[in-house]
A and B are shown apart, each in its own frame.
Chain A
Amino acid sequence: MWNVISLDGYFQGKKAWDLDFHQTVWGKELEDYSIEQLETADMLVFGRNTYEGMATYWATEEGKVSEYMNKVQKIVCSTTLKAADWNNSLVVKDALAEIPKLKQAGDGNMFVFGSGNLSASLMKAGLFDEYRFCIAPVFLGNGKRLFGEDLPYQKLDLLKKRPLKTGGVILIYAPVSK
């Protein structure tokens, strides 16, 4: 998992795609980190909302991040979506059944970006091997929380902490296997 969240735990504001707070941490360091991550990825996994927003956004963007985003294999988890037009996309209906298989199939990292509802299901099913996020130095006050209610009790190992010059903090955790 990779997400930018506010210090009070929101990954987006009140409305869908309300991500203005990303500006508080975005910069050269985070861009370089994003590219580094994408270079290790062989698949990106999205829920429908995030997929649609990303597809629209990256279709017209330029630069290295955009190049990777457009090129890499994308999986969109949706029970309703018929077609996925963004380059190199695959629709998966039963995420919990299919994601472990896809994970086995590839040899790179599989990332879930944004995709709050999907992330919640994957967290509950214990399918993440790493939680990576950047905490932005801001309280949003409302919106959608990344770690919603009723997640299972889970001990973690801290793998990495890295402060950014912008005031963001990257933290990486792995679940302690039961």
Chain B
Amino acid sequence: MGNLIYLITTSLDGYAADENGNFDWAVPSEEVHAFVNDTLRNVGTILMGRNLYETMKVWDEIPTEGTSGPMDGPSKSMNEYAKIWQAAKKIVYSTSLNDLAIANAIIERSFDPNTIRKLVAESDKDFDIGGPHLAAEAIKANIINEYHQIIVPIMIGSGNYWLPKDVNIKLELTDVRKFENGFVHLQYRQRQSF
């Protein structure tokens, strides 16, 4: 049985990006990126909305080998993530897109939590869901097995909040760690209420 994973980097006040979609402050260090890669190592399918697709599609072009410094080419952690990304199947949820510029990907017009829950349960691999807007659908249906919040030591005041409103769920804390750059990782697991 796989896990449905929601991993996101936010400001301390809970925003994934500011009102203009800017998240420069959230760029991970090599250490944080390597940790994210470890967390997503077993991901076989990536679910995302259109905005995240536009941000992430560049990963199809990033080489999986050939490391140089972070300033003049992909770093080791970027190579690693490119491997995870390129090997995974991608599902892009969009009502408007007709073509995708990435390989190994399909478009879905609507998100059905029951279908995803079954796919995850039947899979050996994990599923990663991204973008607060799409993730909200899965959170409301309480089908997310693992939450990973990476908190950047900054307050930005407004923007795209990482969680939806009107969801009341109790979770279990499974990891807390701190990185050299002051980022904090909080990991929670869905509680089995049945």
Contact = CB atoms under 8 A, between A and B. Distances in A.
Given A9-B14, A161-B176, A169-B176, A138 B169 contact: yes
Nearest to A156: B153
Contact of B168 (A141, A161, A167): A141
A142 B171 contact: no
B108 interface: no
A161 B183 CA distance: 11
A151 B13 contact: yes
A172 to B, nearest CB: 11
Interface residues of A, number: 30
A158 B165 CA distance: 27
Given A147-B155, A157-B182, A163 B163 contact: no
Contacts of B170: 24, 137-138
A7 B148 CA distance: 11
B158 A150 contact: yes
Nearest to A150: B157
Nearest to A160: B178
Range for the number of chain B residues in contact with chain A? 20 to 34
B176 A141 contact: no
Interface string A21-49: 00010000000000000000000000000
A147 B13 contact: yes
A158 B184 contact: yes
Contact of A142 (B166, B169, B184): B166
A150 B159 CA distance: 9
Interface of B: 12-14, 139, 147, 149, 151, 153-158, 161, 163, 165-173, 176, 178, 182, 184, 186, 188
Shortest beta-carbon contacts, A-B, top 6: A147-B13, A167-B173, A156-B153, A158-B182, A151-B157, A163-B176
Given A155-B153, A157-B153, A169-B186, 10 more contacts: A9-B13, A24-B170, A141-B165, A142-B166, A147-B14, A151-B13, A152-B155, A152-B157, A153-B156, A158-B184
16 contacts: A7-B149, A8-B14, A8-B163, A9-B13, A9-B163, A139-B169, A140-B168, A151-B13, A151-B155, A156-B12, A156-B154, A156-B182, A161-B184, A167-B173, A171-B151, A173-B153
